[in-house]
Structures are given as structure tokens and as C-alpha cells.
Amino acid sequence: MLQGNGVVEGRPEMARRLEHLRAAVAMLILAWASSAAYGADIVNAALQGPNIDLLPVLQFVESRTPEATIEIPAAGGGEKGSMKLRSASRGTLHRWVVFTLSNPGTTPQELILAVPHQGFVGSGLMRVASSGSLVTSIQASVATDQLRKLNVLGSDAVTLTVEPGATATYAIGLASAGLRSVTLWKRGAFNAQSAEFAFFRGVILGIALLLGIAIVCLFVVRSRAVFPAAALFAWSSVAFIALDAGYFSAVSHLLPGEDGAARASAIIESLMLAGLIACLITFVELRKRSAVLGILFIMMGGGALALSVYGWFQPHLVSAIARIGFATVAVAGFAIVFGYWRAGAPRAQASLLPWSVLLAWTVVAAAGALDIFALSIMKPLITAGLVMVLVTMSFTLAQFAFNQSSGSPRFFEDSGRRALALAGSEQSVWDWQVELGELYVGPELERTLGVVPGSVSGTDLKSWMGLIH
């Protein structure tokens, strides 16, 4: 009994010792996180080229508290100093990236620090990252009033001026993990690069807008369901291009909540999915060719529209579902169009080219979202590729709009057959355009009535009415 009691009493003692050990380890980790030693290389502020990538020299700091203290190098290799970091982000984990600049020259160095916003590229597929700015704050180790934020679309840009002989450490507060690029630019090179990208974004967005307007105008030519379906996809694509270019930041303050960019992205991508499904149904007249497939995709389109509403409440989940659904519909749609094209369906033959371009764009977009290649060209490639999809789609829609008009070969062939059938049956034709007040009487009918050819046609409605029994 005594031995048994001793065993029972020993277990709480062992548990207390383990708890003390865990607390000691946690204190050590917290002390390391709140007072990290900064050991990265010092960057020469006199850049040799137009820009340098700071990502390899950044020191990443994390802390469970909104404040942390780090050691920083001093000018001229003196004793190390300290820098207190303050986080402006909410949450339980706070992140910073730190780097040091030194100017050994005799002239001030005016530089631009650029951190691109989180866009579609690198945002993921199953766990979609929030769109928008990744930077919550920027602070320097020395007192300075030369940290000025620039108004640049698609990135956070700040001017840094390093005085001659000075060494300064800078800390960038991050809203989340996943930092992909931090670039230090010379002022002139950054201005030139910004102008080039602004021109590219303007051209791409302008072409997309014109194509969206053209698709809507085709609905005036022929009232068919294919044109509203294509317009839904086209205008949601225009919104996708504008969002990824950074134009959303100009109106983000109008939306309630802190995750407005993620909500907008979820809604736009859901509408793109709904438009794509509607295009598949109407381009190949799916309901006429397969009632089962038609009903299935109509239900999927309704689900995509409902998904766009749900995106306001669960944006990250909805974006993931929309992206997986878009890829699935693109592949399945290409298989359906290709199958009907092999069967000789005219609408499928016209739809094969835009759907092939769409499938290729989907593959490139998936590679960009997953950041498989990690190339700087991926973002402009995705936006330009989406415009190419709209271009090929517009040509196909123009063919749908005009292939049965008076200028098409099929119209002349059909008219010739009708004229031969009418002449062979010894029938006559007359036409009265009431709104225009014009009358046409065929020559066969004039000969049958015994009147002078051409005396009745024109606007002589009174004479014609007198000949009608």
C-alpha cells in the first residue's frame, strides 16, 4: 500500500516538472523572437544597376507580441545597436522583414523600395491568399522624414534617402506570410519602369473594355442567348484584369470590412465561372444536342451565380471553388466542343478555336496561381492571354451574328432554292412594306393580271387595292 501510494504521488510531481520545462522552453523561444540578432549583409546604397533584389538578404522576424527588439549593425563596423519593431497588423503572430543600407559615398542616394501587392499570381489554388497590399508599416532605425509613400498601382512603393556616410536599417511590417518580391530601385529606373507598365495596363484594359462593348452590341444585331452569356464572361474578365492590375485600391474604401479585395476577387471569379458555363451551353446549343448535359450545366451555372453571393461571406473558400470549377469546365467544355466538331456540328466548328485558346489560358493561369515557374512575366502573360481569349471569342460571336444575314453564302444558296421552287410551281409574289409605304409586285403576277409591267410596283397602293378581289 505504501509503495502504491508513492507511485500515485509521484505522477503529479513528474507532471509539474514537465510543465516547468515546457514553460522554460517557451520563455526561451519568446525571448529569442522578441530580441533577434540581425546578421544579414549590409547593402551598398550606391546601386551598380537599375535595381537589386533584396529578397536574398532580408532577415525575417516573427513575434507573438506586437513589439520586438533586434540587434542592428552600426556604421563603420562599430558596436551593434538595437531597433525596436512595432507591428500594425492584427492577429497573434506578427512578422517583419529587415535589411540595412549603407552609403559610403559623398552624395545622397535616393532609392525606391517596391513591394508588389498579392495578386492572382502566387495566390494558390486550394488555399487562396488575400489580394492586395502585404505591407502594414515601414520604419527606419534612424529618425528621418524621408520615408514617403508613392501612389503606384499594384505595389507599395516608398522613397528611401540614405545620406553620405550613413547606415540605416529598415523594417517592413507584413500583413501575412508569402512575400514573393522586394526590389530596391534607382529613382529614374523605377519611374521609367512604372510608365511602361502603366502603358501596358492601359492598353490591355482598353482592349478588353472595347471587346466587352462590342459583344453587347452584337446582341442588338441578333437577339440570341449566346451574346448575353458571352457578355457576362467578358465583363467579369474585364473586372478580373482591373483587379489584378491594382485598380481596386482606388475604390476599396467604399466597401465595408477589411477583406474587401478578397471578396471582390471571389465574386469576380465566380461570375467568370458562371459566364463560362453559359458560353458552353449557348455556343454549341447544348440543350438541343444533349438534354442531360444541358440540364447539368444549367444547374452548375445557377450554382456559380449563387457562389458569387456566398463569396461575400467566405471569400477564400469561394475563390478556391471557383478556380477548381473554372478549370473543370474549361477541360470538359473543350472535350464537348471537340466531340461535336468531329461530328460536323457547325456551331462547334466555329467554337473550337476560342475554346482551344481558353484551355491554353487556363493552363497558364493555373501555373501562375501555383507559382510553378516563378517568372516575372507571368502576370502580364495571364492578362494578355485573357484578352486573347476575348478576341477569339468576339470573332466567333461575330460569325454567329452574321452567318444568316443577307450577305452570307448560305443565304444566297437558300434564296436560290426558294426562287427555283417558286418558279417551278408557277406561283407569284407580292410584298407590301406597310411602314415604308412601298409595294412590290412580281412580274409574273403583273402578266397574270394583264397590267403593264412596272405600273403597279412602287407606291401606287390605290391601284393595287383596286386589283385585289
- Decide if pLDDT at 10 tops 50: no
The pLDDT, as a whole number, for residue 254 is 61
Q: How confident is the model at residue 410 (pLDDT cuts 50, 70, 90)?
A: low
Helix (H, G, I), strand (E, B) or coil at 85: strand
For residues 366 and 237, what is the distance between their CA atoms, to the nearest angstrom? 16
The pLDDT, as a whole number, for residue 391 is 97
Percent of the chain as helix, strand, coil, to the nearest 5: 55, 20, 30
C-alpha distances in Å from residue 318, one per residue of 6, 395, 406: 58, 32, 46
Say which range, 71-80, 198-207, 292-301, has the weakest mean pLDDT: 71-80
Long-range contacts at 2-10 (CB < 8 A, ≥ 24 apart): none
Mean local confidence (pLDDT), 214-242: 93
The pLDDT, as a whole number, for residue 4 is 38
The pLDDT, as a whole number, for residue 105 is 87
- Looking at the chain, how many residues does it have? 469
Pick left, alpha or beta for residue 165 (phi over 0 → left; psi -120 to 50 → alpha; otherwise beta).
left
- Decide if pLDDT at 431 tops 60: yes
- Decide if pLDDT at 446 tops 90: no
The tens digit of pLDDT for each residue in 328-377 reads 999 999 999 999 999 988 899 999 999 999 999 999 999 999 999 888 89
The pLDDT, as a whole number, for residue 414 is 63
For the whole model, what pTM was predicted? 0.76
Say which range, 7-11, 138-142, 143-147, 156-160, has the weakest mean pLDDT: 7-11
- Decide if pLDDT at 1 tops 70: no
Classify residue 455 by its DSSP letter. S
Mean local confidence (pLDDT), 206-210: 96
Highest mean pLDDT among 291-305, 370-384, 444-458: 291-305
Amino acid sitting at position 461: L
The pLDDT, as a whole number, for residue 58 is 93
- The average confidence (pLDDT) of the chain is 83
Spatial contact of 189 and 53, defined as CB atoms under 8 Å apart: no
Please name the residues in contact with 460: beta carbons below 8 A apart, sequence gap of 6 or more. Answer: 439
- Decide if pLDDT at 159 tops 50: yes
Give strand ranges (E) for 57-195.
Answer: 59-63, 67-72, 81-86, 94-102, 109-116, 135-140, 148-150, 155-162, 167-174, 183-186
Quickly list H helices, 163-285: 187-221, 226-245, 260-283
The pLDDT, as a whole number, for residue 141 is 86
Q: How confident is the model at residue 8 (pLDDT cuts 50, 70, 90)?
A: very low
CA 316 to chain centroid, in Å, comes to 14
- Decide if pLDDT at 403 tops 80: no
Q: How confident is the model at residue 37 (pLDDT cuts 50, 70, 90)?
A: very low
Question: What spatial distance separates the first Cα and last Cα of the chain, rounded to whole Å?
Answer: 128
Mean local confidence (pLDDT), 142-160: 84
